[in-house]
Structures are given as C-alpha cells and as structure tokens.
Amino acid sequence: MTTHSDAESPETRIGKDFVRTIIDAHIAENKYDQGRVQTRFPPEPNGYLHIGHAKSICLNFGLAREYDGKCFLRFDDTNPSKEEQEYVDSIQEDVRWLGFDWDEKRFASDYFDRIYAFAEQLIQMGKAYVDDLSAEEIREYRGTLTEPGKPSPFRERSAEENLDLFRRMRAGEFPDGSRVLRAKIDMAAPNMVMRDPTLYRIKRAHHHRTGDAWCIYPMYDFTHCLSDAIEGVTHSICTLEFENNRELYDWVLDTVAAFPERPYQYEFARLNLTYTVLSKRKLIQLVSEGHVSGWSDPRMPTISGLRRRGYTPEALRDFCDRIGVSKANSMVDFALLEHCVREDLNARAPRVMGVLDPVRLVIENYPEGQVDEFDMPFHPEDESQGSRIVPFSKVLYIEREDFMEEPPKKFFRLAPGREVRLRYAYYVTCTGVEKDADGRITEIRCTYDPETKGGWSKDGRKVKGTLHWVSEAHAVPAEVRLYDKLFSVENPAAVKDRDFKELLNPESLTTVQALLEPCLAHQEPGWLCQFERLGYFCADAKDHAPGKPVFNRTATLRDTWAKIAQKS
C-alpha cells in the first residue's frame, strides 16, 4: 500500500475513471436496453456508515445521476444476528444527508422466497447439494491454494434426496450448523471461492424484518448477485476484496439463466484513511467498549461522527471527488479530508470570536463603566451574512498564548511595551502584568489609544499583531471540545502484535472552558462558524443548547494538506 499522492492527479480529476469508461463502452455497444444504467448501494445494516461508505455512495448514486439512470438503496440483511433497525434508520439518514436519494429502497430479505426458489432450481439441475460435514470439516476438505480440495462424501446425493433434505432444513428439522447447502462446482478450482461454496446455512435467529419465518439464510455470494439481477442492476460495483467472488457471481447468474440482461460486478479500491480505522467490525468495538461516546462521537470516521464534528455534505462529496475511483489500493491522508472541510467552511462560515484559554486584560485608561459597541461583519467577503454587535469594555479576555513576557524574535503578539491591535477595536500597549504566588500571570495591564477606534491608526502607525478578545462583562462561558487524531499511528490496522485499541490517541479529546462573544449564546445546534484565528467550530448537535453552549472544533485553520501536496 502506498501513501496517496494521486488525489489531485490529472487522471482522476479530468479523465474518466475506469468505471465510467466501462459504462461509456456499454452505452456505445448498447449492452443494456437503451443505454440503461442501474446501480445500487448495498450496506449491511450492522453498523453506522463511515467515510469509506461515502465513497461508494458518491460513486453509485453519482453514476445514476450522471447517466440518467437509477440507484437503489438495498439493505443486505442476510445475517440476522448482527442487524438492527437502528442501523437501517441511521444509514438512510446518512445517505440523505450526503445529498442523495434512492429510486427505490429494497431489502435482500424481500427476495428470500425467490432466492430459495433458485436454490431448489440448482438442486434440481444437479448443481447444488446438502452437505452434512461440519464447518470445520468443510474447511479441511476445501484444500489450500497449493492443494486441491477433496469432495465431501455427501457430494453425490441424488437431486431427490437433496431436495428433501433442503426442504427439511427449511422446515426446521435440523439443528443450527448441522447441514448446509453447497453449490456443486469444482473442488479443484484454482479460485478457492469456487470449491463448492456454501449457499445456505441453518441459523435460528430473529430477523429484524422476517421475524422467525426462516431458520435458513442465504449466504452473501448467493444473495448478492441474485438481488442485483432481480432489481435489474446493470453495474454492480464493490470493493477489491470481492475480486475472487466475481467468478461465483457469474456462475450463479449464468447457471440459473433467468436474467437475459444480467448485471456484472466491477471492483474498485476501498478507501483507507490515515489515523483511523474504516471497518465496521473495529468501529463497533470502539463503541461497545466505550472508547468513544458512540457511533456519532465527533472523533469517529462515521458519517454521523463527521457531521457532528462539523463536516458538511459538500466537503465530503468534494473529498470523494478528489480521491477519485481506481483499482489501486492506497492510503489517503486525513489532511486531505480536513483540507476539503476548510475550503468549504472558509467560503461560508461566519467569523466570530471566542477565547479558549482566557487571561484577563485590563485597560488602565479606559473609562470604568463605558462600553463600545462594534458592529462586526460575520464574513469579510460575504455581505449577505450581515453583522453583529460585539461589546468592548475596560476588562477583556485574550488568549493566554497571545502574550509573552520575554518574547522570541518572531513573536508578534502582545509583550511588555509592545502595541497590538484588538480585532476591530483599538490598539493597546502592554504596561505590565500581575502574577499569583506561583508566578502564573493573572492579569495583563495595558493602555489603549482612543484615536485607533475600529482598529486603525489615523497617523499610519502599524502594528504587527491582531488579537481576538471578549469583554469580561459580556462573555458567554462555554464548553469547547478540541479534537485530535483518533489514533496515534498512521495505519493502526497494519500494526502487528498489538490490539488496534492500544494505539488510540489518549489526547484525541481535550475539553476546555472557553469564553465566547455574546452572539454565541443562542445559536442552534449544528451551527457552523470560524472562531477567528482558532479554527472552524460547530455547536454540538447533542449537548449544545441555547443558554448552555457546547462547541466542537471541526478543524484548525492550519492547512497541512497544502504542504503534503506540494512535496509529492
């Protein structure tokens, strides 16, 4: 696996990707009736969707849009013990939030009767048999990559016997795991998937839709191709892990021979992202073991987590667009995702002021009890966003790190004797500090120049630093959550001999008590903004309430992607 560097290469941005090239060819040769294009997004409802799924959603729904085709949302619900309604609901919410809608919503379980009928058809054709071997024996008999498998002693059962046994499996006569239905293909096939794959298993589990109607369930490989064909899918797009399954996909559809315009499978590279994991199995562990607050914890790479973090659908779609679709597995830098959200929020997030680590700033010569009201635009380049009033008074708060008693050369902020601008307000000059018994600064003292009102000096005097601030008497206390990478290593899934959870970044969440300007007291949950100089933030969708503000930092302002892109 290589670190991703082709994110913005001309191939992915200007030329067509391989999927679109294939579709164009099919349209040209009239492979499907009237150049029809139909795709599907087929999640298993066993977890929340993550950013990898967003790639698949943008591709499948995007193709339908571009080619004036159709895209179904299909829940691949053949594994009843792991599936839940909560996941079905969250998946629909996330797809819609990303900006897509399905032509039809289906469930693989809608087709259980038809899939069962195809299984009986295969049995009657002598192409499937009931096997009594245990799961372990089946594994042993399957052979290895270098050795052919050997036939099960039950492989040569007659069609009548197989049909009888299969019907009794369905009727619930046999215990879980005691028998399976297998396709009769080739125990010496070089592709292991083709060595008599299992089509049905016995499993007594309550299904979220079919309840207890079934005690046998079809396997993925049997269900997926048939579901695609039943729906009229033309291009069945999945990730590269399924490359070997393609042969079986084709075998099933060609053998049942019930679909004149059958779908074909195409594989693309899944998304891998640095400093996180994109596997539901792993994400479930983070949730169930309490490493995060839930599926939509803002540190999670889930769509709901990114949403709560402040990511926009536009940013996620832009990201998917930039990474493109290819057949080469790669690792995409998380910085690219952040770059996309910054670009989007830079264009539209209102600018406000908040101080995350406040220290008092007292203006000695500012009249006690006086309040200046500064009318500040929300967005310097977008007048339509209007403005708000920000009060200024004798006692303010500034960021502790914006002051240094003994500043190094390149420090242009506040220091003893130095003059800086308070954003939109006045120039101030530091006159001294007060400290507590431990030597920690408790208060910075300064004077202001009334002639610099609005933040500009009439005599052309320049200052190098501009600081954000809030007025003590008007400040709104708020909880602010600062997020960092979820894992401390680039590729936690690849670290050998250590459980991936040991690689979690212990500093992925820092909570601070901040002081914010007054307009932030009553914003709606989900409201996005830029805290000047600090980054992009959003009002937390769950815990924020007008009067009790809670903000999440979506991203800092510093764009690390630009540097990475330059290097490569």
Q: Which residues are catalytic?
A: 44, 270, 280
Binding of residue 336 to ligand ATP (CB under 6 A): no
Among 9, 239, 385, 560, binds ligand ATP (CB under 6 A): 239
Q: How many CB atoms lie within 10 A of CB 30?
A: 10
Binding of residue 246 to ligand ATP (CB under 6 A): no
Q: In the range 48-107, which residues lie near ligand ATP by CB under 6 A?
A: 52-53, 55-56
Q: How many CB atoms lie within 10 A of CB 340?
A: 24
3-state DSSP assignment of residue 20: helix
d(CA 498, CA 485): 19
With CB under 6 A as the contact rule, which of the stretches 38-46, 97-105, 224-232, 430-438 interacts with ligand ATP?
A: 38-46
Write down the least CB distance from residue 395 to ligand ATP, Å: 52
Write down the least CB distance from residue 507 to ligand ATP, Å: 26
3-state DSSP assignment of residue 323: helix
Q: 498-501 long-range contacts, Cβ below 8 Å, gap at least 24?
A: 500/277, 500/282, 501/285, 501/286, 501/289, 501/291
* Closer CB to ligand ATP, 241 or 254, in the complex: 241
Among 279, 326, 346, 556, binds ligand ATP (CB under 6 A): 279
Hey, what are 269's tokens? Answer: 């590279």
Q: In the range 281-310, which residues lie near ligand ATP by CB under 6 A?
A: 281
d(CA 102, CA 106): 10
Among 6, 8, 17, 44, binds ligand ATP (CB under 6 A): 44
Write phi, then psi, for 239 (nearest 5 degrees).
-90, 165
26 neighbors 234 (Cβ within 8 angstroms): yes
Write down the least CB distance from residue 59 to ligand ATP, Å: 8
Binding of residue 270 to ligand ATP (CB under 6 A): yes
* Closer CB to ligand ATP, 286 or 356, in the complex: 286
Binding of residue 363 to ligand ATP (CB under 6 A): no
* Closer CB to ligand ATP, 82 or 453, in the complex: 82
Of 382, 397, 364, whose CA–CA distance to 478 is shortest?
Answer: 397
* Closer CB to ligand ATP, 271 or 482, in the complex: 271
* Closer CB to ligand ATP, 280 or 553, in the complex: 280
Write down the least CB distance from residue 43 to ligand ATP, Å: 4
3-state DSSP assignment of residue 514: strand
Q: How many CB atoms lie within 10 A of CB 476?
A: 18
3-state DSSP assignment of residue 504: strand
Amino acid identity, position 552: N
Binding of residue 271 to ligand ATP (CB under 6 A): yes
Write down the least CB distance from residue 303 to ligand ATP, Å: 12
Helix, strand, coil % over all residues of the chain, rounded to 5: 35, 25, 40
d(CA 447, CA 426): 10
Write down the least CB distance from residue 268 to ligand ATP, Å: 7
Binding of residue 238 to ligand ATP (CB under 6 A): yes
Binding of residue 278 to ligand ATP (CB under 6 A): yes
Of 244, 243, 248, 257, whose CA–CA distance to 224 is shortest?
Answer: 248
Among 4, 184, 280, 418, binds ligand ATP (CB under 6 A): 280
Residue 436: enclosing H or E segment and its boundaries? Answer: none
Write down the least CB distance from residue 88 to ligand ATP, Å: 11
Q: Which residue is nearest to ligand ATP (CB)?
A: 52
How many residues in the shown chain lie near ligand ATP by CB under 6 A?
15
The H helix count followed by the E strand count for the chain is 14, 28
Q: How far is CA 417 from the centre of its chain?
A: 49
* Closer CB to ligand ATP, 48 or 527, in the complex: 48
CA angle 559, 560, 566 (to 5 degrees): 110
Write down the least CB distance from residue 62 to ligand ATP, Å: 13
252 neighbors 194 (Cβ within 8 angstroms): no
**Interacting residue ranges for ligand ATP, rule: CB under 6 A:** 42-44, 52-53, 55-56, 238-239, 270-271, 278-281
